[in-house]
Amino acid sequence: MPIINMDDKILLSHGGGGKKTQDLIRHIFLEKFSNEELNELDDGAVIGDMIITTDSFVVNPLFFPGGDIGKLSISGTVNDIVAMGGTPLFLSAGFIIEEGFPLEDLKKIVDSMSNEAKAVPVKIVTGDTKVVEKGKGDGIYINTTGFGKKTLELGLERIKPGNKIIITGTVGDHGASILLSRNQFEIESGLKSDCAPLYGLLKSILSEDIKFMRDPTRGGLAAVLNEIVRKDWGIEIFEDKIPIREDVKGICEMLGIDPITMANEGKMVIFVEGDRVEETLKTLHMHPLGRDASIIGKVTDQIKGRVVERTVAGTTRIIDMPSGESLPRIC
């Protein structure tokens, strides 16, 4: 049975970051675009000592506790550059705006883009604006493309059994806060999106000890670990080591969503040389964005090609690539 049937149409789940997205990339885009740089299927491409990466932002609602689409559009792209071992230098910004969109909201979004970019720091050096008819967009969509200088050699091929895995903080904050900000549940909470550029946090740990990094956005921790795992080794994680806020845990329980499949916008999964992991963790803990960093698991050759979790009950379960979208349009 073909994975992509040409009579099919694009479904929301094709944009969920799970298996359907992977199928779309492999069977539609890669099929025609295939080249040495793209085939790596990393968060961005490496060209000489430059890194280029792009991301589009379609979040709904545009403003949410802890951030807005503007902040997201800077942190998302900056984090992709950082995950590839780069120092972020320049960004482009493309806006697709719906007719009738309040200028005041646009100004708020641009303000927060500007603030975030200065804080990294990274310069927005080129851009584009398009306006579409009312009803043909959803307020505003933003695309940012990032350029960075490669400062550290990272790569999947550097991951070896014995490496340890760190998450830089609590998981699921962004996904859960977007869910709540849609106000469908009438639950009040102090929860905020974790949306933040991570260059400041991560530049302090960049060294040969770091093997690989990826930011667990759509599909959360479960999706990135499944993207990373290779057929000759496996990943074992420990449920009781994964930091999750109590309110996120409660919301996820109530809605039957696994927090490790919820999106994050200010967290990094880091693969570290096994005997250097404590030093890395200590350094992360010194930064406000790394306070809750935790060693959540390890790379092992006892299992192959699979992500396995040791549950709090002491049993094991397979963590599979999440399928479909747990909620639409989160980044």
Partner 1 sequence: MKYIDEFRDAEILRDWGRKISLIKVSKSINLMEVCGTHTVSIHRFGLHKLLPENVKHISGPGCPVCVTPNRYIDEAIELSKMEDITIVTFGDMVRVPGSRSSLEKEKAEGADIKVVYSPLDSLKIAEETEKKVIFLAVGFETTAPTIAATVAEARKRNIRNFFILPGNKTMPNAMRSLLKDRDIKIDGFLLPGHVTTITGFREYEFIPRDFGVACAVSGFEPADIMLAFNSLINQIKTESPKVENVYQRSVKRDGNPYAKVYIERVFEPINSEWRGLGEIEHSGLGLKDEFKSFDIRNAVKIDIPEPFEHPGCRCGDVLKGKINPSDCPLFGDPCTPDNPIGPCMVSSEGSCSAYYKYG
Residues that bind partner 1 (CB under 8 A): 1, 3, 8-13, 18-20, 23, 184-185, 240, 246, 249-250, 253, 255-256, 258, 311-318, 320, 323-324
Q: Sort 206 into a burial class: Cβ within 10 Å, 0-12 / 13-18 / 19+.
A: middle
Local structure of residue 288 (DSSP, 8 states): G
| Min dist. Cβ of residue 258 to partner 1 (A) | 8
How many whole angstroms from its chain centre is CA 95? Answer: 21
Helix (H, G, I), strand (E, B) or coil at 136: coil
| Min dist. Cβ of residue 59 to partner 1 (A) | 18
| Min dist. Cβ of residue 254 to partner 1 (A) | 10
Q: Which is nearer to partner 1, 107 or 317 (CB)?
A: 317
| Min dist. Cβ of residue 239 to partner 1 (A) | 9
Q: Please report, as a single letter, which amino acid is at residue 15.
A: G
Q: Which is nearer to partner 1, 8 or 36 (CB)?
A: 8
Contact between 236 and 300 (Cβ < 8 Å) = yes
Helix (H, G, I), strand (E, B) or coil at 111: helix
| Min dist. Cβ of residue 130 to partner 1 (A) | 24
Task: Record the tokens describing residue 270, joined without a space.
Answer: 């880091």
Give residue for tokens 């705006």.
97
Q: Which is nearer to partner 1, 26 or 150 (CB)?
A: 26
Contact between 177 and 71 (Cβ < 8 Å) = no
Task: Record the tokens describing residue 36, joined without a space.
Answer: 């040495």
